[in-house]
Amino acid sequence: MPDLPLANNDVSEKQAQLITKLKEKGGHAGNVALQRELGWEEEAYWPIRDRLVDSGLLELGRGRGGSVSLVTQVPLIQPNTSESVSTPVPLISPQRVSEGELYDPVADVLRKQWARDLRFRSHVVEVTARQGRRDTGGTWTRPDIVTAALRVFPHVPGKFFDLITFELKPFDGIDVTAVFEALSHRRAATQAYVWLHVPAGEESNSELVALLKRIEEEASQHGVGMIVGADPSDYSSWDLRLRAVRVEPDPESLNEFIAQQLSGLARDELAQWFR
């Protein structure tokens, strides 16, 4: 593999952009078209594409100039039961909820128990996924939930500001590409997490265990945090698999992110913290 003339953070961000663009195009695209839509030079496109192929996230295909496709994850299969084979197995059990149904309970726990656990001096939590067609800088830059927090430490002078993003996935939507969605948010955030819903009783599914292990390995490689929760409204059921690595984003990008993603009330509260 050729050396990349990019810093690690730039490489990770570009991987996230390529993955997201492919998802927007239905999971498959020709190399020429994909490179053109990303607006990259060949020197940037090919090494990034090759990294994703080598990591098993993309597979090569035919076509003029070649093509790439997102690798389809193996569907989670429920174990056999003693019921008659003629009895249909529901695709979604009553335990499982949609992604939209996760937003409010997860945000509520982040606002209360999680913020208390992390000893925030002040904090704001907002669901940012429900912004419709409002311009927020592009689909790949919009997290599901954002937490803005102020921290102080007894032995370190000053105040420390964090902007933490969360990418949520319901049980039937768990996929390794969630890591790259979360990673794409970190261009303007200090930390990024994936939050995966695994209802009680599903954690022993061998295929799920393997998938979660792969996601954890990918997240660890890129400094993305990972939380697996059985009940979105019960903090005691949340398993912190990985703590996100804190980074210092470009101040201009951070400011633009706050302006585009957070409500006016949230921005006003943030302004009060530093007066």
**Tokens 């913020």 identify what position?**
115
What is the strand order of the sheet 28-30 is part of?
A: 28-30, 67-70, 58-61
Predicted pLDDT of residue 8: 66
129 and 221 inside one domain: yes
Amino acid identity of 176? V
147 and 214 inside one domain: yes
Predicted pLDDT of residue 96: 66
Predicted pLDDT of residue 140: 46
Give the containing element (helix H, strand E) for 163: strand 156-169
Predicted pLDDT of residue 79: 42
Asked if 63 and 77 count as a contact pair (C-beta separation under 8 A), the reply is no
62 and 198 inside one domain: no
Pairwise CA distance, residues 238 & 168, whole Å: 13
Length of the chain: 275
Residue 199 belongs to some domain of the structure: yes
Predicted pLDDT of residue 53: 85
Predicted pLDDT of residue 220: 95
CA 224 to chain centre: 8
From 209, 202, 227, 214, select the one nearest 177 (Cα to Cα): 214
Residue 94 belongs to some domain of the structure: no
From 203, 180, 208, 183, select the one nearest 73 (Cα to Cα): 208
Q: Which domain holds residue 269?
A: 99-273
216 and 257 inside one domain: yes
pLDDT tens digits, one per residue of 212-248: 999 999 999 999 999 999 999 999 899 999 999 999 9
Give the CATH number of the domain where residue 42 resides: 1.10.10.10
From 247, 245, 211, select the one nearest 228 (Cα to Cα): 211
Which residues of the chain, if any, have pLDDT below 70? 1-9, 63-65, 72-96, 132-141
Residue 131 belongs to some domain of the structure: yes
Predicted pLDDT of residue 11: 79
Residue 80 belongs to some domain of the structure: no
Domain boundary among 22, 49, 70: 70
Pairwise CA distance, residues 95 & 38, whole Å: 39
Q: What share of the chain is helix, strand, coil (3-state, %, to 5)?
A: 40, 20, 35
Residue 77 belongs to some domain of the structure: no
Predicted pLDDT of residue 130: 83
Residue 188 belongs to some domain of the structure: yes
Pairwise CA distance, residues 109 & 69, whole Å: 37
118 and 231 inside one domain: yes
123 and 255 inside one domain: yes
Predicted pLDDT of residue 248: 92
Count of structural domains within the chain: 2
Predicted pLDDT of residue 132: 57
130 and 261 inside one domain: yes
20 and 130 inside one domain: no
109 and 239 inside one domain: yes
Predicted pLDDT of residue 16: 87
